[in-house]
Structure 1
Amino acid sequence: MNAKSVDLARLVRALGQRSIVLVGIMGCGKSTVGKRLAQRLGLEFVDADTEIERAANMTVAEIFAEHGETYFRSGEERVIARLLREGPQVLATGGGAFMSEATRAEIAERGLSIWLKADFDTVMARVRRRSTRPLLQNPDPEGTMRKLMATREPVYAKAALTVVSREVPHEAVVDEIVVTLADHLFDREDETASQTSYS
């Protein structure tokens, strides 16, 4: 199956009220790819960090600086739980969001998680272009990133689906996501149909 042959209307129907939830390390492309994916599927794109900033009337960096990471994470859990009730949509989550067991449970119930898996060099090349990452504001951002990836990747691997995000045009990654979603959702539909016909 290639992306051009996927019936997008059927894909969105199979999704139902669930959100497509993009998870992964900062710089893996959740926002840039997410916007294009939403456009392709005719769904709304929502960035959880933007929604958190709107709710708090502060930037993520300011929340970290003033209140610390624990405070930020509890707000993040609440905002993502609320957003998931507003599906279907394409939801990009912050790099640490999926580490929360409560958030993973909410996503499993109301969404379909996709890990955008990127390698260290790709991620570092991208995050260097933006100096606003609170977790990298230290003398050794590379070391910090390696530690974050080592801690988080086993948890990201619990996502329902995985797509590799690499240095190719964003549309190519969107194509891969569409095919991966179709394989997953249409297989489920076919299983349900065959079970129904035998019952």
Structure 2
Amino acid sequence: MNQSKRPDPSIVRKDRIYLTGFMGCGKSTIGPILANTIGYDFVDVDRQIEQAEGRSINEIFSEKGEKHFRDLERTVLMKVCSLPRTVISLGGGTMTVAENLEVILATGLVVYLKITPEQLFHRLRHRSDRPLLRTADGSQLGDEELRARIQLLYEAREPLYARADVIVLTDGTKLGLTVDSIVRRLSGLIE
């Protein structure tokens, strides 16, 4: 990684919280509630990319490809990694890029919103806005193909997500209880 791309080492790690986890685990829903609860700002990396590009993540993937999307994601991450007192919702694949993982672990506390593959299947099966859960031609996957794709991505990403400072199981847990659990687990870790 280029030295000028490294985050400033003076950044206080406890000053930002990264939410990570598989697509559909609740990062974009839990993030603003958590931020409001602890008096932090909230940034959603995917929404920042969509605003900058003027199109959806799905459109970016289909028109420019995953590499272009990951480059945009990296640019946004480098902008938000120094924001003070901020909860940052990462994309499901943000931590799969080694340089991103390095920045995330160096500049904030990471909370992994863990969900089982079966629960993910039920949450994602009727969603058409998840490019990694579609066929090469953009068609929706059948149920068995979707289960297999979720399992494959889950197995690849789980070890990266598990490097989080805090892991919270979100399966079947009410939103408020999940946020309360995160706040309790972060107590003493944030400023």
TM value normalised by structure 1? 0.81
Partner residue of 1:181?
A: 186
Q: Matched residues in 2 for 1:16 and 1:115: separation?
A: 16
Partner residue of 2:95?
A: 98
The offset of 1:120, in angstroms, is 1.1
Alignment partner of 2:163 out of 158, 161, 178: 158
Partner residue of 2:6?
A: none
Partner residue of 1:35?
A: 32
Matched letter for residue 175 of structure 2: H
How many residues in Structure 1 have an aligned counterpart in Structure 2? 172
Deviation readout 1:116-149 (Å, 9 max, x if unpaired):
1111122122223532111111332211111000
The answer to whether the 8 Å contact 1:17/1:87 transfers is: no
Confirm whether residue 144 of structure 1 aligns to residue 149 of structure 2: yes
Deviation readout 1:66-94 (Å, 9 max, x if unpaired):
11111111110110111112222111111
Structure 2 alignment gaps of length 5 or more: 1-11, 136-140
Partner residue of 1:63?
A: 60
The offset of 1:109, in angstroms, is 2.1
Identity %: 37
Structure 1 alignment gaps of length 5 or more: 1-14, 190-199
Highest CA radius of gyration, 1 or 2?
Answer: 1
Partner residue of 1:48?
A: 45
Kindly report the root-mean-square deviation, in angstroms, between the aligned alpha carbons of the 2 structures. Answer: 1.8
Q: Which of the pair is proportionally richer in helix?
A: 1
After TM superposition, what 4+ stretches of structure 1 lie above 4 angstroms from structure 2? none
Q: Matched residues in 2 for 1:18 and 1:84: separation?
A: 10
The answer to whether the 8 Å contact 1:27/1:124 transfers is: no
Partner residue of 1:8?
A: none
Q: Matched residues in 1 for 2:17 and 2:56: separation?
A: 24
For the residue of structure 1 that corresponds to 2:31, the secondary structure is: helix
Which stretch of the first structure deviates more once superposed, 147-156 or 124-133?
Answer: 124-133
Q: Matched residues in 2 for 1:47 and 1:103: separation?
A: 15
The offset of 1:21, in angstroms, is 0.3
Alignment partner of 1:22 out of 19, 22, 39: 19
Alignment partner of 2:79 out of 79, 82, 86: 82
Q: Matched residues in 1 for 2:108 and 2:38: separation?
A: 15
The offset of 1:18, in angstroms, is 2.1
